[in-house]
Amino acid sequence: MNDSELNNLLKSVPMPPRPESYWKDFPGRVATLLPRPSKIRRPAAWRLPRLSWSYGFALACLIFGFGVGLWQGRSHPDQMTGLEDKKVVREVMALFPNRVQAIIQDEKGIHLVLSDQPNVPASTPIWVRACSSHGNCFTAVTFSGQQLQFDGQPVEILAGRNGNVMVVGTRMFWTSEEPDRAAEHWRIRARTLNDTL
Amino acid sequence: MALPDENKHWVLQSQNGDHAAFESLIRAHQHMIHSLTFRMTGSLADAEDLAQETFIRAYQQIQSYRGTAKFSSWLYRIGVNTCLNWRQRESRRSQIHDTWAKSAELDLSRLATKCDESEHPVQQALMKLPPKQRAAIILTVYDGLNHAEAAQILGCSETTVSWRIFAARKKLKQLLGKGGKNE
């Protein structure tokens, strides 16, 4: 079977019909479930200071937490640092539920990549460390299906069923099954954190 | 499907809290969203629930719609995410049910199966794909989007979409091919 035959076969399946009254009633039924206008989140002026205070406070706690983690890491080089501290990662995820796309640590510090909306689906957390041939390194905790930037290029991080990790970009492919294979000019290490987060 | 200008007007009105305008948007896009949710779930009842959830989420997020993309693409993306989240919820729920059933020593094989609507072998084969591969097939085959457009909706790279489609086609051909078995 070629692709075209498969497409035709897939398209041959009809949608089970619904009565006309269903299509007539459905919009009205949904409309009755919509929140009242006052409940819709709007960027109202009076709310902004309160929001910025709460987010500011949360970020200050985060920075403090990371600072302590990093300091402890430096004091005890054998211990795990920053992003390998599962507790810190868990706390970040709890602070921004369904919004954390990635937590990235590079030479400039730690950055959070958050979604505008709480719509990041729950998926396998993945720890990634990548170093370029120029010596630029970063570590990230992200989630299967999310993207990271490698030299400005979007690269997707995926967890396989057997716990392996794949790094897929337009010009690169790396898998934890062959960890020593260089992807472009990057050396990568990655593993899932599923059992520990 | 509504004209783009009509959509724009209804979106603006909806952003001002006008339920009637949003109802018009639902009316204009309900077939598209139901088609997506049915292909993703294989069940008419689940498709209805997910279509409803998609529109409610869209209304809750409508302030964030800036008009840079087509409204239908924006809405479709919410629908796809709703379906993918539903798969995860369902999987968790099914695990809980399994645990409960085992502890109650129930014979799971005697429990009623739910998807009488997905008896069609093609839909059954679609349901055997991982949800993200299924979404990629639905977007490109049923909705005719190219890989770049599908990547935008799925929030991943074109390469990933291509890979998912490749893997999905391979599996579908095995399941639906002459020699394949679709048990």
Are B3 and B78 contained in the same domain? yes
Q: What is the CATH number for B30?
A: 1.10.1740.10
Please tell me which of the candidates B31, B117, B122 has its beta carbon nearest to residue A16. B117
Tell me: the pLDDT tens digits for A16-43?
889 999 999 999 999 988 876 554 444 4
Q: Count how many pairs of residues, chain A against chain B, have C-beta atoms within 8 Å.
A: 111
Are B108 and B126 contained in the same domain? no
Which among B113, B143, B158 is the end of a domain? Answer: B113
Residue B107 has pLDDT above 80, yes or no: no
Residue B23 has pLDDT above 90, yes or no: yes
Which among B85, B113, B141 is the end of a domain? Answer: B113
Measured between beta carbons, which residues in chain A are less than 8 angstroms from residue B117? 16
Are B87 and B141 contained in the same domain? no
Are B160 and B132 contained in the same domain? yes
Q: What is the CATH number for B176?
A: 1.10.10.10
Please tell me which of the candidates A11, A43, A147 has its beta carbon nearest to residue B141. A11
**Which residue in B has a C-alpha nearest to residue A9's C-alpha?**
B122
Query: CB B163 to CB A26 under 8 A?
Result: no
Whole-angstrom distance, CA of residue B180 vs CA of residue A77: 56
Query: CB B176 to CB A119 under 8 A?
Result: no
Query: CB B26 to CB A27 under 8 A?
Result: yes
Please name the amino acid found at residue B38: F
Query: CB B160 to CB A158 under 8 A?
Result: yes
Higher pLDDT, A5 or B103: A5
Query: CB A13 to CB B30 under 8 A?
Result: no
Are B183 and B144 contained in the same domain? yes
Are B124 and B88 contained in the same domain? no
Measured between beta carbons, which residues in chain B are less than 8 angstroms from residue A119? 61, 78, 81
Mean pLDDT for B37-52 is: 91
Measured between beta carbons, which residues in chain A are less than 8 angstroms from residue B17? 36-38, 40
Which among B89, B113, B137 is the end of a domain? Answer: B113
Tell me: the pLDDT tens digits for A118-127?
778 778 888 8
Are B33 and B81 contained in the same domain? yes
Higher pLDDT, B89 or B60: B60
Q: Six-digit token pair at B163?
A: 């890979």
Q: How many angstroms away from the CA of B101 is the closest CA of chain A?
A: 25
Whole-angstrom distance, CA of residue A160 vs CA of residue A175: 10
- At B99 the pLDDT is 57
Among A residues 119-178, those touching chain B with beta carbons less than 8 Å apart:
119, 121-123, 145, 147, 154-156, 158, 168-170
Measured between beta carbons, which residues in chain A are less than 8 angstroms from residue B59? 34-35, 40
**Which residue in B has a C-alpha nearest to residue A37's C-alpha?**
B17
Kindly state whether A50 is in contact with chain B, defined as any CB-CB distance less than 8 angstroms: no
Please tell me which of the candidates A18, A30, A38 has its beta carbon nearest to residue B55. A30
Kindly state whether B148 is in contact with chain A, defined as any CB-CB distance less than 8 angstroms: no
Kindly state whether B19 is in contact with chain A, defined as any CB-CB distance less than 8 angstroms: yes
Are B30 and B87 contained in the same domain? yes
Measured between beta carbons, which residues in chain B are less than 8 angstroms from residue A170? 157-159
Query: CB A121 to CB B172 under 8 A?
Result: no
Three state DSSP letters for chain B: CCCHHHHHHHHHHHHCCCHHHHHHHHHHHHHHHHHHHHHHHCCHHHHHHHHHHHHHHHHHCHHHCCCCCCHHHHHHHHHHHHHHHHHHHHHHHHHHHHHHHHHCCCCHHHCCCCCHHHHCHHHHHHHCCCHHHHHHHHHHHHCCCCHHHHHHHHCCCHHHHHHHHHHHHHHHHHHHCCCCCCC
Number of structural domains found in chain B: 2
Are B12 and B68 contained in the same domain? yes
Mean pLDDT for A185-189 is: 86
Q: Which domain holds residue B144?
A: 120-183
Are B151 and B104 contained in the same domain? no
**Percentage of residues of chain B with pLDDT beyond 90:** 37
Are B48 and B92 contained in the same domain? yes
Are B17 and B77 contained in the same domain? yes
Whole-angstrom distance, CA of residue A180 vs CA of residue B135: 33
Tell me: the pLDDT tens digits for A76-125?
433 345 666 667 777 777 777 888 888 888 877 777 888 877 778 778 88
Q: Which of B38, B55, B90, B128 to probe the A interface (max A CBs under 10 A)? A: B55
